[in-house]
Amino acid sequence: MNELKKSAAAFSKAKKFMPGGVNSPVRSYSSVDCNPPFISHARGSHIYDIDGNNFIDYVGSWGPMILGHANEKVVDALKKSVERGTSYGAPTELETELAELVQKIFPSMEVMRMVNSGTEATMSAIRVARGFTGRSKIVKFIGCYHGHSDSLLVNAGSGAATFGVPSSPGVTANTAQDTIAIPFNDVDAVKKIFAECGEKIAAVIVEPVAGNMGLVLPKENFLPTLREVTKKFGALLIFDEVMCGFRVALGGAQEKYKIKPDLTCLGKIIGGGLPCATYGGSAEIMRNVSPDGKIYQAGTLSGNPLAMTAGIETLKILLDTPNFTEKLTQKTSRLVDGLKEQAKISGVAVQIPQAGSMFGIFFSEREITNYDDACAANQEKFKRWFKSMLEQGIYLAPSQFETLFVSIAHTDEDISKTIDAASTAFTA
C-alpha cells in the first residue's frame, strides 16, 4: 500500500473547514487511530484513493452500492437524466415509477412519501405515528440507529456508539423523555414497558435486523412479540429497513420473517447511490400526511429526478436479475465461511454474523445478541485486524459497530484475496 501522503494533506485541509474534516463522523477514522484514505473514484467492487491505492470495498458507501460502484446502466440513465435538468420541485412520472417498484417489493407500503435521507424517513415516520395515534412516547432499542433526529438520538448505535455519545448533547431532556430505550432482543423488557405505559406509546421503532451496533440478528420470538404487543395496545410498529431492506431478502426483514409492520422506512439502496429514502405503510395511516391529511412533511429536493432515476434503475436490476438475492447471499456466505475458517486456523475467537449480503465481525467468544454484548467484544483486536486489512488493500468500516456489505460486483477473486488477507490480519 502506498503511504497516505496526499490523503493526509487533504485531511488536514478538510479539518480547517469541517468538524473532524468530514461530513459524517465515522469517516474520520479516529476510532482506529489513522488517517482516512481520500477517495478519487470507484468502480465495481473497487475503490481508489488519491494516493494511488486500489482497495476491495466492503463499505459500499455504507450500504447503498449493492450493484457495485458506477454500474453502467445506472450511470447511463443518470447521464440522460442530468441533461434534462437536475431539479424541478414539481411532480414527475419518475416518482410514481419508483414508488410502484418499491411497492412491488414491499407490498406493506401501500402509500409512501419520498424523502432525501434515512434520517428524514424515520423522523417523519415517528411524526406520523404520533399524529395518527395521538400519543407521544416512542420505544426504541439500545444500539439501534435511526438517523440523527432528536427523538431518535437516544442510546443510538453506529457513529454515536463508536464515539461513545449514544445520547447526544443538544437533545433536550424533554425530547429524550419521550423516547424509551430498551435492550434489543429482550422480549421481557418489551412486555414490561407496555404493561407500565402501553396506552401512551405511539410506536415501536426497530431495525428488524440490527446493523448499527455491528450486525445483530433478531432472536426467533423478538419480532413476533413486537407485532403482537403493539397490536394489542394500539401502537404502531415501524420497521426501519434503511439498511436491511433489499439485503436480508429482496423484500427486507418483513419478507424474511413474515411480519407486516405498520410503517416501513427505506433508504440507502433505494437511491442507488444518490440521496433518497422513503417511508410508507397502509393507506389508512399514510392518508393522514399532508396534503391528504394534517400531518405536515415536505422537501424542496424530495423526489429529485436524478435520485429517482438511480433508484429506478437499481431496483429494476434487483427485480429483473434472476435469483439476485440468492446469488449475492451465496457470495457473502463464501466470504464469511472463509473468514471463519481463517480465524479458527489462527486460534482467534470471533463472531461473524451474516444476514443476506450483510456481515459483521466481533472479536468475542460469545454470541452477540445486543448492544452490551457488542460493547464487550475486543475493540483493540478489531483495530489491529482493520489496519492490517487496509494495508493489504481491503477497505472495511473502521468500527466493529458497523456492518459490512458485499455487492453483486464482488468477484470470486476479490473474495479469495479478502480471505487470504484475513489470514495475515488475524495473526497481526
Ligand X SMILES: *Cc1c(COP(=O)(O)O)cnc(C)c1O
Contacts with ligand X by CB under 6 A lie at 117-119, 122, 145-147, 207, 211-212, 240, 242-243, 267, 277
277 vs 289 by CB, closer to ligand X: 277
362 vs 405 by CB, closer to ligand X: 405
Residue 88 annotated to the active site: no
Q: Which of 49, 57, 240, 414 is catalytic?
A: 240
Instruction: Name the minimum Å distance from CB 91 to ligand X.
Output: 23
Q: Which residue matches cell numbers 452477540?
A: 368
212 vs 370 by CB, closer to ligand X: 212
Q: Which of 29, 58, 145, 395 is catalytic?
A: 145
Q: Which residue is nearest to ligand X (CB)?
A: 118
Q: Give the max Cα distance, the chain.
A: 61
Q: Please, which residues have CB within 8 angstroms of residue 238's CB and are 6 or more apart in sequence? A: 122, 125, 126, 129, 203, 204, 205, 206, 261, 262, 263, 264, 265
Residue 331 annotated to the active site: no
- CA-wise closest residue to 35 among 21, 48, 46, 23: 21
- Count of Cβ atoms closer than 10 Å to residue 249 Cβ: 20
Question: b/e map of 299-325 (b: 16 or more CB within 10 Å)?
Answer: eebbbbbbbbbbbbbbbbbbeeeeebb
Instruction: Name the minimum Å distance from CB 78 to ligand X.
Output: 19
Question: b/e map of 81-102 (b: 16 or more CB within 10 Å)?
Answer: beeeeeeeeeeeebbebbbebb
18 vs 197 by CB, closer to ligand X: 18
CA dist., res. 205 & res. 202, Å (int): 10
Instruction: Name the minimum Å distance from CB 211 to ligand X.
Output: 6
- Count of Cβ atoms closer than 10 Å to residue 258 Cβ: 9
Residue 29 annotated to the active site: no
Instruction: Name the minimum Å distance from CB 428 to ligand X.
Output: 29
Instruction: Name the minimum Å distance from CB 20 to ligand X.
Output: 16
Q: Which of 140, 256, 268, 381 is catalytic?
A: 268
| Residue 300, φ and ψ in degrees, nearest 5 | -55, -45
Q: What is the CA radius of gyration of the chain?
A: 21
32 vs 277 by CB, closer to ligand X: 277
Active site residues: 145, 240, 268
